[in-house]
Chain A
Amino acid sequence: MSPLLELNRVHFGFSTPQGFLPVLEDFSLAVEKGEWASVVGPSGCGKTTFLKVSSGLLPPQAGTVLVEGGSPRGRVAYMPQGESLLPWRTALGNIMAAREAEGPVDSETKRQAWALLSDFGLARFAQSLPHELSGGMRQRIALLRTFFARRNLLLLDEPLGALDALTRAELQEWLLRVWQNLSKTVVLVTHDVEEAVLLSDRIFVLTPRPARVAMSVLVPMPRPRERSGSAVQALRAQALWALASAKNYDEKS
Protein backbone atom coordinates (compact mmCIF):
# COMPACT_ATOMS: atom_id res chain seq x y z
CA MET A 1 0.00 0.00 0.00
CA SER A 2 1.30 3.45 -0.82
CA PRO A 3 1.84 5.95 2.00
CA LEU A 4 -0.84 8.51 2.86
CA LEU A 5 1.63 11.41 2.64
CA GLU A 6 4.73 11.21 0.52
CA LEU A 7 7.28 13.91 -0.19
CA ASN A 8 9.85 12.99 -2.76
CA ARG A 9 13.04 15.06 -3.11
CA VAL A 10 11.12 18.28 -2.58
CA HIS A 11 12.86 21.63 -2.97
CA PHE A 12 11.35 24.87 -1.81
CA GLY A 13 12.70 28.35 -1.10
CA PHE A 14 11.53 31.93 -0.74
CA SER A 15 12.59 34.81 -2.96
CA THR A 16 13.51 37.61 -0.58
CA PRO A 17 14.99 41.08 -1.11
CA GLN A 18 18.31 39.56 0.03
CA GLY A 19 18.05 36.85 -2.62
CA PHE A 20 16.80 33.28 -2.79
CA LEU A 21 16.40 31.59 0.60
CA PRO A 22 16.37 27.79 0.33
CA VAL A 23 14.16 26.31 3.07
CA LEU A 24 13.50 22.70 2.04
CA GLU A 25 16.27 20.92 0.20
CA ASP A 26 16.01 17.39 -1.15
CA PHE A 27 13.29 16.79 1.42
CA SER A 28 11.79 13.27 1.45
CA LEU A 29 9.55 11.49 3.91
CA ALA A 30 6.58 9.14 3.96
CA VAL A 31 3.76 8.75 6.50
CA GLU A 32 1.63 5.61 6.52
CA LYS A 33 -2.13 5.56 6.98
CA GLY A 34 -3.19 5.54 10.62
CA GLU A 35 0.24 6.59 11.82
CA TRP A 36 1.11 9.44 14.14
CA ALA A 37 4.27 11.03 12.83
CA SER A 38 6.04 13.89 14.55
CA VAL A 39 8.49 16.28 13.00
CA VAL A 40 11.04 17.97 15.24
CA GLY A 41 13.61 20.50 14.19
CA PRO A 42 15.41 23.61 15.36
CA SER A 43 13.42 26.84 15.33
CA GLY A 44 13.25 28.51 11.93
CA CYS A 45 14.46 25.41 10.07
CA GLY A 46 11.40 25.14 7.85
CA LYS A 47 8.81 23.07 9.76
CA THR A 48 5.89 25.35 8.91
CA THR A 49 7.07 25.53 5.31
CA PHE A 50 7.12 21.71 5.20
CA LEU A 51 3.48 21.61 6.34
CA LYS A 52 2.40 24.29 3.87
CA VAL A 53 4.05 22.40 1.03
CA SER A 54 2.43 19.17 2.26
CA SER A 55 -1.01 20.79 2.32
CA GLY A 56 -0.68 22.32 -1.13
CA LEU A 57 -0.63 25.91 0.16
CA LEU A 58 2.86 26.30 -1.30
CA PRO A 59 3.81 24.50 -4.52
CA PRO A 60 7.15 22.64 -4.46
CA GLN A 61 9.76 24.07 -6.81
CA ALA A 62 11.10 20.59 -7.50
CA GLY A 63 10.12 17.09 -6.47
CA THR A 64 6.65 15.74 -5.74
CA VAL A 65 4.12 15.89 -2.92
CA LEU A 66 1.46 13.18 -2.87
CA VAL A 67 -1.48 12.83 -0.51
CA GLU A 68 -3.47 9.62 -0.97
CA GLY A 69 -1.60 9.23 -4.22
CA GLY A 70 -2.70 12.60 -5.67
CA SER A 71 -2.24 16.33 -5.43
CA PRO A 72 -2.47 17.53 -1.81
CA ARG A 73 -4.76 20.47 -2.56
CA GLY A 74 -8.02 20.07 -0.64
CA ARG A 75 -7.04 16.65 0.74
CA VAL A 76 -5.68 17.62 4.16
CA ALA A 77 -6.86 19.31 7.32
CA TYR A 78 -4.15 21.79 8.29
CA MET A 79 -4.05 23.55 11.63
CA PRO A 80 -1.92 26.69 11.27
CA GLN A 81 0.59 27.77 13.89
CA GLY A 82 -0.83 30.42 16.25
CA GLU A 83 -4.40 31.62 16.65
CA SER A 84 -6.56 30.52 13.77
CA LEU A 85 -10.09 30.36 15.20
CA LEU A 86 -12.66 32.80 13.85
CA PRO A 87 -12.94 35.31 16.72
CA TRP A 88 -16.60 36.11 16.05
CA ARG A 89 -17.78 32.50 16.13
CA THR A 90 -18.51 30.45 19.22
CA ALA A 91 -16.60 27.24 19.90
CA LEU A 92 -19.47 25.30 18.33
CA GLY A 93 -19.59 27.64 15.35
CA ASN A 94 -15.86 27.27 14.82
CA ILE A 95 -16.10 23.48 14.87
CA MET A 96 -18.94 23.58 12.35
CA ALA A 97 -16.90 25.87 10.10
CA ALA A 98 -14.79 22.82 9.20
CA ARG A 99 -17.84 21.39 7.40
CA GLU A 100 -19.28 24.71 6.21
CA ALA A 101 -16.05 25.09 4.31
CA GLU A 102 -17.47 22.66 1.81
CA GLY A 103 -21.05 23.83 1.55
CA PRO A 104 -24.22 24.47 3.53
CA VAL A 105 -24.61 22.29 6.62
CA ASP A 106 -27.73 20.89 8.25
CA SER A 107 -28.84 20.36 11.84
CA GLU A 108 -27.28 16.90 11.78
CA THR A 109 -23.85 18.49 11.40
CA LYS A 110 -24.61 20.73 14.34
CA ARG A 111 -25.58 17.70 16.41
CA GLN A 112 -22.33 15.96 15.46
CA ALA A 113 -20.29 19.03 16.39
CA TRP A 114 -22.06 19.13 19.74
CA ALA A 115 -21.39 15.44 20.30
CA LEU A 116 -17.71 15.92 19.47
CA LEU A 117 -17.41 18.76 21.97
CA SER A 118 -19.12 16.84 24.73
CA ASP A 119 -17.27 13.57 23.99
CA PHE A 120 -14.02 15.36 24.75
CA GLY A 121 -15.19 17.36 27.73
CA LEU A 122 -15.86 20.75 26.15
CA ALA A 123 -19.68 20.85 26.09
CA ARG A 124 -19.90 23.69 28.54
CA PHE A 125 -17.70 25.91 26.35
CA ALA A 126 -19.80 25.34 23.22
CA GLN A 127 -21.33 28.82 23.30
CA SER A 128 -18.16 30.69 24.33
CA LEU A 129 -16.28 32.99 22.02
CA PRO A 130 -12.53 32.33 21.61
CA HIS A 131 -11.51 35.43 23.57
CA GLU A 132 -13.56 34.20 26.52
CA LEU A 133 -11.52 30.97 26.67
CA SER A 134 -8.06 30.20 28.02
CA GLY A 135 -5.22 29.54 25.59
CA GLY A 136 -5.42 25.83 26.31
CA MET A 137 -9.16 25.71 25.62
CA ARG A 138 -8.74 27.65 22.38
CA GLN A 139 -6.17 25.12 21.18
CA ARG A 140 -8.49 22.25 22.07
CA ILE A 141 -11.26 23.84 20.02
CA ALA A 142 -8.89 24.44 17.10
CA LEU A 143 -7.70 20.83 17.31
CA LEU A 144 -11.25 19.46 17.37
CA ARG A 145 -12.12 21.66 14.41
CA THR A 146 -9.26 20.05 12.49
CA PHE A 147 -10.48 16.57 13.45
CA PHE A 148 -14.04 17.53 12.45
CA ALA A 149 -13.04 18.20 8.84
CA ARG A 150 -13.66 15.13 6.74
CA ARG A 151 -10.03 14.41 5.98
CA ASN A 152 -7.84 11.41 6.71
CA LEU A 153 -4.63 13.38 7.07
CA LEU A 154 -4.22 16.07 9.74
CA LEU A 155 -1.24 18.43 9.72
CA LEU A 156 -0.76 20.14 13.09
CA ASP A 157 1.68 23.04 13.39
CA GLU A 158 2.94 23.28 16.98
CA PRO A 159 -0.56 23.16 18.47
CA LEU A 160 0.76 23.05 22.03
CA GLY A 161 3.80 25.26 21.46
CA ALA A 162 2.55 28.38 23.22
CA LEU A 163 1.18 26.68 26.36
CA ASP A 164 2.71 26.42 29.81
CA ALA A 165 4.20 23.06 30.82
CA LEU A 166 1.27 21.93 32.97
CA THR A 167 -1.43 22.76 30.41
CA ARG A 168 0.69 21.22 27.71
CA ALA A 169 1.01 17.90 29.56
CA GLU A 170 -2.75 17.90 30.08
CA LEU A 171 -3.40 18.57 26.41
CA GLN A 172 -0.97 15.87 25.29
CA GLU A 173 -3.03 13.25 27.10
CA TRP A 174 -6.26 14.75 25.84
CA LEU A 175 -5.03 14.89 22.23
CA LEU A 176 -3.91 11.26 22.40
CA ARG A 177 -7.40 10.28 23.55
CA VAL A 178 -8.99 12.22 20.69
CA TRP A 179 -6.68 10.60 18.15
CA GLN A 180 -7.28 7.09 19.50
CA ASN A 181 -11.04 7.60 19.17
CA LEU A 182 -11.16 9.14 15.72
CA SER A 183 -8.75 7.07 13.58
CA LYS A 184 -6.92 9.76 11.65
CA THR A 185 -3.39 10.05 10.37
CA VAL A 186 -1.50 12.82 12.13
CA VAL A 187 1.63 14.76 11.30
CA LEU A 188 2.57 16.85 14.33
CA VAL A 189 5.21 19.54 14.10
CA THR A 190 6.74 20.30 17.48
CA HIS A 191 9.92 21.62 19.02
CA ASP A 192 9.39 19.43 22.09
CA VAL A 193 11.21 16.12 21.69
CA GLU A 194 9.55 14.59 24.75
CA GLU A 195 6.12 15.40 23.32
CA ALA A 196 7.08 13.65 20.09
CA VAL A 197 8.25 10.54 21.97
CA LEU A 198 5.14 10.42 24.14
CA LEU A 199 2.68 10.69 21.27
CA SER A 200 4.03 9.40 17.99
CA ASP A 201 4.83 6.19 16.14
CA ARG A 202 7.65 7.78 14.24
CA ILE A 203 9.77 10.89 14.66
CA PHE A 204 11.45 12.73 11.82
CA VAL A 205 14.39 14.83 12.93
CA LEU A 206 15.18 17.78 10.65
CA THR A 207 18.45 19.57 9.98
CA PRO A 208 18.69 23.36 10.38
CA ARG A 209 17.63 25.42 7.38
CA PRO A 210 17.62 24.34 4.61
CA ALA A 211 15.71 21.46 6.19
CA ARG A 212 15.95 17.84 5.21
CA VAL A 213 15.20 14.71 7.19
CA ALA A 214 18.37 13.87 9.09
CA MET A 215 17.00 10.81 10.82
CA SER A 216 13.80 8.89 11.37
CA VAL A 217 13.27 7.32 14.80
CA LEU A 218 10.69 4.60 15.39
CA VAL A 219 8.85 4.66 18.71
CA PRO A 220 7.70 1.09 19.37
CA MET A 221 6.27 1.37 22.92
CA PRO A 222 2.52 0.93 23.47
CA ARG A 223 0.42 3.94 24.51
CA PRO A 224 -0.21 5.54 26.91
CA ARG A 225 3.44 6.02 27.69
CA GLU A 226 4.88 6.92 31.04
CA ARG A 227 6.53 10.34 30.80
CA SER A 228 9.28 9.38 33.24
CA GLY A 229 9.52 5.76 32.02
CA SER A 230 12.99 4.56 31.07
CA ALA A 231 12.02 3.68 27.49
CA VAL A 232 10.62 7.17 26.89
CA GLN A 233 13.68 8.79 28.43
CA ALA A 234 16.03 6.62 26.38
CA LEU A 235 14.28 7.51 23.11
CA ARG A 236 14.16 11.13 24.11
CA ALA A 237 17.92 11.07 24.59
CA GLN A 238 18.34 9.37 21.22
CA ALA A 239 16.19 11.94 19.44
CA LEU A 240 17.94 14.82 21.17
CA TRP A 241 21.27 13.39 20.14
CA ALA A 242 20.00 13.09 16.55
CA LEU A 243 18.88 16.73 16.70
CA ALA A 244 22.26 17.84 18.02
CA SER A 245 24.22 15.94 15.41
CA ALA A 246 21.88 17.21 12.68
CA LYS A 247 22.87 20.70 13.78
CA ASN A 248 26.51 19.92 13.09
CA TYR A 249 25.65 18.16 9.88
CA ASP A 250 26.77 21.03 7.67
CA GLU A 251 30.07 21.52 9.38
CA LYS A 252 31.00 17.83 9.13
CA SER A 253 30.14 17.35 5.48
Chain B
Amino acid sequence: MTRKAEATALLVVAMLLVLWEGAVHLLRLPTYVLPPPSLIFSTFVRDFSLLLYHASLTLVEVALGLGMGAIVGVGVAVLAYYVRPIGRALIPFLVGSQVIPVFAVAPLFVLWFGFGIWPKVAVAALLVFFPVAVNFLDGLRSQGPELVEFFQALGTREARIFRMVRAPAALPFFFSGLRVGATLALVGATVGEWVGASRGLGYLMIQANARLRLDRVFAAVLALTLLGLGLFWTVSAGERLFSRRRR
Protein backbone atom coordinates (compact mmCIF):
# COMPACT_ATOMS: atom_id res chain seq x y z
CA MET B 1 0.00 0.00 0.00
CA THR B 2 1.15 3.49 -0.74
CA ARG B 3 1.34 6.21 1.91
CA LYS B 4 -1.71 7.87 0.45
CA ALA B 5 -3.77 4.68 0.44
CA GLU B 6 -2.81 4.02 4.04
CA ALA B 7 -3.83 7.52 5.05
CA THR B 8 -7.17 7.10 3.29
CA ALA B 9 -7.76 3.76 5.02
CA LEU B 10 -7.05 5.31 8.41
CA LEU B 11 -9.36 8.20 7.65
CA VAL B 12 -12.21 5.84 6.73
CA VAL B 13 -11.71 3.86 9.93
CA ALA B 14 -11.72 7.07 11.97
CA MET B 15 -14.90 8.28 10.28
CA LEU B 16 -16.70 5.00 10.95
CA LEU B 17 -15.68 5.15 14.61
CA VAL B 18 -16.93 8.72 14.93
CA LEU B 19 -20.25 7.72 13.32
CA TRP B 20 -20.57 4.79 15.69
CA GLU B 21 -19.76 6.96 18.71
CA GLY B 22 -22.22 9.64 17.59
CA ALA B 23 -25.01 7.13 16.92
CA VAL B 24 -24.68 5.51 20.35
CA HIS B 25 -24.92 8.90 22.08
CA LEU B 26 -27.67 10.28 19.85
CA LEU B 27 -29.88 7.19 20.16
CA ARG B 28 -29.02 6.90 23.86
CA LEU B 29 -28.21 3.21 23.46
CA PRO B 30 -27.40 1.55 26.77
CA THR B 31 -23.88 0.05 26.87
CA TYR B 32 -25.33 -3.49 27.25
CA VAL B 33 -26.86 -3.10 23.76
CA LEU B 34 -23.99 -1.38 21.97
CA PRO B 35 -21.04 0.21 23.75
CA PRO B 36 -19.43 3.25 22.09
CA PRO B 37 -15.89 2.86 20.75
CA SER B 38 -14.52 5.21 23.42
CA LEU B 39 -15.71 2.83 26.14
CA ILE B 40 -14.38 -0.20 24.26
CA PHE B 41 -10.96 1.42 24.01
CA SER B 42 -10.84 2.42 27.64
CA THR B 43 -11.95 -1.10 28.68
CA PHE B 44 -9.30 -2.52 26.36
CA VAL B 45 -6.63 -0.43 28.06
CA ARG B 46 -7.90 -1.05 31.60
CA ASP B 47 -8.31 -4.84 31.03
CA PHE B 48 -5.11 -5.13 29.05
CA SER B 49 -3.35 -7.63 31.31
CA LEU B 50 -6.54 -9.70 31.59
CA LEU B 51 -6.88 -9.71 27.80
CA LEU B 52 -3.24 -10.65 27.44
CA TYR B 53 -3.69 -13.55 29.85
CA HIS B 54 -6.57 -14.97 27.78
CA ALA B 55 -5.19 -14.02 24.36
CA SER B 56 -1.89 -15.80 24.97
CA LEU B 57 -3.62 -19.17 25.35
CA THR B 58 -5.83 -18.53 22.33
CA LEU B 59 -2.71 -17.71 20.34
CA VAL B 60 -1.08 -21.01 21.35
CA GLU B 61 -4.19 -22.93 20.28
CA VAL B 62 -4.37 -21.06 16.99
CA ALA B 63 -0.68 -21.53 16.22
CA LEU B 64 -0.86 -25.27 16.93
CA GLY B 65 -4.09 -25.58 14.94
CA LEU B 66 -2.60 -23.66 12.06
CA GLY B 67 0.52 -25.81 12.00
CA MET B 68 -1.32 -29.11 12.27
CA GLY B 69 -4.00 -28.07 9.81
CA ALA B 70 -1.30 -27.03 7.31
CA ILE B 71 0.53 -30.35 7.64
CA VAL B 72 -2.66 -32.39 7.23
CA GLY B 73 -3.76 -30.12 4.36
CA VAL B 74 -0.51 -30.61 2.46
CA GLY B 75 -0.64 -34.35 3.13
CA VAL B 76 -4.19 -34.64 1.82
CA ALA B 77 -3.31 -32.56 -1.27
CA VAL B 78 -0.25 -34.69 -2.08
CA LEU B 79 -2.24 -37.89 -1.61
CA ALA B 80 -5.07 -36.63 -3.80
CA TYR B 81 -2.56 -35.47 -6.44
CA TYR B 82 -0.72 -38.76 -6.80
CA VAL B 83 -3.58 -41.18 -6.20
CA ARG B 84 -6.51 -39.88 -8.19
CA PRO B 85 -9.08 -42.43 -6.95
CA ILE B 86 -8.23 -41.49 -3.38
CA GLY B 87 -8.61 -37.83 -4.30
CA ARG B 88 -12.09 -38.55 -5.66
CA ALA B 89 -13.04 -40.65 -2.66
CA LEU B 90 -11.88 -37.97 -0.24
CA ILE B 91 -14.01 -35.17 -1.74
CA PRO B 92 -17.25 -36.06 0.14
CA PHE B 93 -15.34 -36.28 3.41
CA LEU B 94 -13.52 -33.01 2.79
CA VAL B 95 -16.70 -31.18 1.94
CA GLY B 96 -18.54 -32.91 4.78
CA SER B 97 -15.91 -31.76 7.25
CA GLN B 98 -16.56 -28.18 6.20
CA VAL B 99 -20.37 -28.09 6.06
CA ILE B 100 -20.79 -29.38 9.62
CA PRO B 101 -21.31 -26.25 11.75
CA VAL B 102 -18.33 -25.67 14.00
CA PHE B 103 -20.74 -25.43 16.93
CA ALA B 104 -21.82 -29.01 16.30
CA VAL B 105 -18.33 -30.50 16.24
CA ALA B 106 -16.83 -28.45 19.06
CA PRO B 107 -18.74 -30.31 21.85
CA LEU B 108 -17.80 -33.61 20.21
CA PHE B 109 -14.15 -32.66 20.28
CA VAL B 110 -14.45 -31.72 23.94
CA LEU B 111 -15.91 -35.17 24.51
CA TRP B 112 -13.00 -36.80 22.65
CA PHE B 113 -10.07 -34.64 23.68
CA GLY B 114 -11.08 -33.35 27.13
CA PHE B 115 -11.20 -29.79 28.42
CA GLY B 116 -7.57 -28.82 27.75
CA ILE B 117 -6.29 -27.00 24.67
CA TRP B 118 -6.57 -29.98 22.31
CA PRO B 119 -10.26 -29.74 21.39
CA LYS B 120 -9.64 -26.06 20.45
CA VAL B 121 -6.55 -26.97 18.47
CA ALA B 122 -8.57 -29.66 16.71
CA VAL B 123 -11.38 -27.27 15.74
CA ALA B 124 -8.84 -24.76 14.45
CA ALA B 125 -6.97 -27.46 12.48
CA LEU B 126 -10.25 -28.72 11.02
CA LEU B 127 -10.97 -25.27 9.61
CA VAL B 128 -7.39 -24.69 8.41
CA PHE B 129 -6.67 -27.91 6.56
CA PHE B 130 -9.41 -27.43 3.97
CA PRO B 131 -8.27 -24.16 2.33
CA VAL B 132 -4.67 -25.36 2.52
CA ALA B 133 -5.48 -28.70 0.87
CA VAL B 134 -7.67 -27.18 -1.85
CA ASN B 135 -5.21 -24.41 -2.70
CA PHE B 136 -2.11 -26.58 -2.63
CA LEU B 137 -3.80 -29.20 -4.82
CA ASP B 138 -4.77 -26.46 -7.26
CA GLY B 139 -1.16 -25.30 -7.26
CA LEU B 140 0.09 -28.80 -8.04
CA ARG B 141 -2.47 -29.36 -10.78
CA SER B 142 -2.18 -26.01 -12.52
CA GLN B 143 1.47 -26.47 -13.56
CA GLY B 144 2.28 -26.96 -17.22
CA PRO B 145 4.31 -30.07 -18.06
CA GLU B 146 7.35 -28.17 -19.47
CA LEU B 147 8.89 -27.52 -16.06
CA VAL B 148 9.05 -31.19 -15.13
CA GLU B 149 9.69 -32.74 -18.55
CA PHE B 150 13.31 -31.63 -18.56
CA PHE B 151 13.85 -33.53 -15.30
CA GLN B 152 11.74 -36.54 -16.25
CA ALA B 153 13.81 -37.02 -19.39
CA LEU B 154 16.96 -36.99 -17.27
CA GLY B 155 15.46 -39.83 -15.25
CA THR B 156 15.01 -37.83 -12.03
CA ARG B 157 12.98 -39.68 -9.44
CA GLU B 158 9.48 -38.33 -8.77
CA ALA B 159 10.22 -37.62 -5.09
CA ARG B 160 13.06 -35.34 -6.19
CA ILE B 161 10.96 -33.70 -8.91
CA PHE B 162 8.34 -32.98 -6.27
CA ARG B 163 10.91 -31.34 -4.02
CA MET B 164 12.73 -29.42 -6.75
CA VAL B 165 9.87 -28.41 -9.02
CA ARG B 166 6.29 -29.21 -8.06
CA ALA B 167 6.29 -28.12 -4.42
CA PRO B 168 8.12 -24.80 -4.96
CA ALA B 169 5.88 -24.03 -7.93
CA ALA B 170 2.82 -24.59 -5.72
CA LEU B 171 4.22 -22.59 -2.80
CA PRO B 172 2.29 -19.35 -3.49
CA PHE B 173 -0.93 -21.38 -3.58
CA PHE B 174 -0.07 -23.00 -0.26
CA PHE B 175 0.42 -19.61 1.32
CA SER B 176 -2.83 -18.16 0.06
CA GLY B 177 -4.56 -21.19 1.59
CA LEU B 178 -2.68 -20.61 4.83
CA ARG B 179 -3.66 -16.93 4.92
CA VAL B 180 -7.33 -17.85 4.68
CA GLY B 181 -6.69 -20.56 7.26
CA ALA B 182 -5.07 -18.15 9.72
CA THR B 183 -8.29 -16.21 10.27
CA LEU B 184 -10.42 -19.36 10.26
CA ALA B 185 -8.16 -20.84 12.93
CA LEU B 186 -9.02 -17.92 15.21
CA VAL B 187 -12.72 -18.55 14.73
CA GLY B 188 -12.19 -22.25 15.38
CA ALA B 189 -10.22 -21.77 18.58
CA THR B 190 -12.67 -19.18 19.92
CA VAL B 191 -15.68 -21.38 19.25
CA GLY B 192 -13.83 -24.25 20.91
CA GLU B 193 -13.40 -22.07 23.97
CA TRP B 194 -17.10 -21.16 24.07
CA VAL B 195 -17.99 -24.80 24.42
CA GLY B 196 -15.79 -25.58 27.37
CA ALA B 197 -12.80 -23.73 28.71
CA SER B 198 -11.48 -21.87 31.70
CA ARG B 199 -9.19 -19.55 29.81
CA GLY B 200 -8.96 -17.95 26.38
CA LEU B 201 -10.54 -15.04 24.57
CA GLY B 202 -13.61 -17.12 23.69
CA TYR B 203 -14.10 -18.00 27.34
CA LEU B 204 -13.66 -14.35 28.33
CA MET B 205 -16.30 -13.30 25.79
CA ILE B 206 -18.82 -15.85 27.10
CA GLN B 207 -18.22 -14.73 30.68
CA ALA B 208 -18.48 -11.04 29.87
CA ASN B 209 -21.59 -11.61 27.76
CA ALA B 210 -23.33 -13.39 30.62
CA ARG B 211 -22.67 -10.35 32.81
CA LEU B 212 -23.86 -7.94 30.12
CA ARG B 213 -20.34 -6.51 29.98
CA LEU B 214 -20.58 -5.80 26.26
CA ASP B 215 -17.67 -3.37 26.45
CA ARG B 216 -15.47 -6.26 27.51
CA VAL B 217 -16.91 -8.52 24.79
CA PHE B 218 -15.98 -5.88 22.24
CA ALA B 219 -12.56 -5.38 23.81
CA ALA B 220 -12.02 -9.13 23.34
CA VAL B 221 -13.17 -8.80 19.72
CA LEU B 222 -10.61 -6.04 19.30
CA ALA B 223 -7.94 -8.33 20.74
CA LEU B 224 -9.05 -11.09 18.34
CA THR B 225 -8.83 -8.66 15.44
CA LEU B 226 -5.30 -7.70 16.41
CA LEU B 227 -4.36 -11.38 16.72
CA GLY B 228 -5.86 -12.04 13.29
CA LEU B 229 -3.97 -9.18 11.70
CA GLY B 230 -0.76 -10.33 13.36
CA LEU B 231 -1.22 -13.88 12.06
CA PHE B 232 -2.08 -12.64 8.58
CA TRP B 233 1.09 -10.56 8.46
CA THR B 234 3.19 -13.34 9.91
CA VAL B 235 2.00 -15.72 7.19
CA SER B 236 2.74 -13.08 4.55
CA ALA B 237 6.21 -12.53 5.97
CA GLY B 238 6.75 -16.29 5.98
CA GLU B 239 5.76 -16.38 2.33
CA ARG B 240 8.28 -13.69 1.42
CA LEU B 241 10.98 -15.50 3.37
CA PHE B 242 10.25 -18.82 1.69
CA SER B 243 9.98 -17.50 -1.82
CA ARG B 244 13.38 -15.92 -1.38
CA ARG B 245 14.79 -19.14 0.08
CA ARG B 246 13.63 -21.42 -2.71
CA ARG B 247 15.98 -19.79 -5.20
- Give the B-binding residues of A (Cβ under 8 A): 52, 55-57, 73-84, 86-90, 93, 97-98, 100-102, 129, 145-146, 149, 151, 155
Interface string of B129-167 (1 = CB under 8 A from A): 000000000000000111101111111100010001100
Residues of B near any A CB (own CB < 8 A): 144-147, 149-156, 160, 164-165, 168-169, 243, 246-247
Report how far A115 CA is from B114 CA in the complex, Å. Answer: 62
> Do residues B246 and A74 form an inter-chain contact, with CB atoms below 8 A?
no
30 contacts between A and B (CB under 8 A): A55-B153, A57-B152, A74-B154, A76-B153, A76-B154, A77-B150, A77-B154, A78-B153, A79-B150, A80-B146, A81-B146, A82-B146, A84-B146, A84-B149, A86-B147, A88-B168, A88-B169, A88-B243, A88-B247, A89-B247, A90-B247, A93-B247, A97-B151, A97-B164, A101-B156, A101-B164, A102-B156, A129-B247, A146-B150, A155-B153
Interchain CA distance A211-B160 in the complex, whole Å: 34
Q: A88-B243, A88-B246, A88-B247 are in contact. Are A100 and B153 (CB under 8 A)?
A: no
Q: Is the interface of B mostly helix, strand, loop or mixed?
A: helix
Closest to A90 in B: B247
Which residue of chain A is the closest to B144 with respect to CB atoms?
Answer: A82
List of B residues within 8 angstroms of A101 by Cβ: 151, 154, 156, 160, 164
Interchain pairs with CB closer than 8 A, number: 67
- Asked if A149 meets B154 with Cβ closer than 8 Å, knowing A81-B146, A88-B246, A89-B247, the reply is yes
Q: Which of chain A's residues has its CB closest to B165's CB?
A: A86
* Contact in complex: A84, B150 (CB < 8 Å): yes
A86 touching B168, Cβ below 8 Å: yes
Cβ of B204 to closest chain A Cβ, rounded Å: 43
Residue of A nearest to B160 (CB): A101
- Chain B nearest Cβ from A217, distance in angstroms: 27
Closest chain A CB from B21 CB (angstroms) = 48
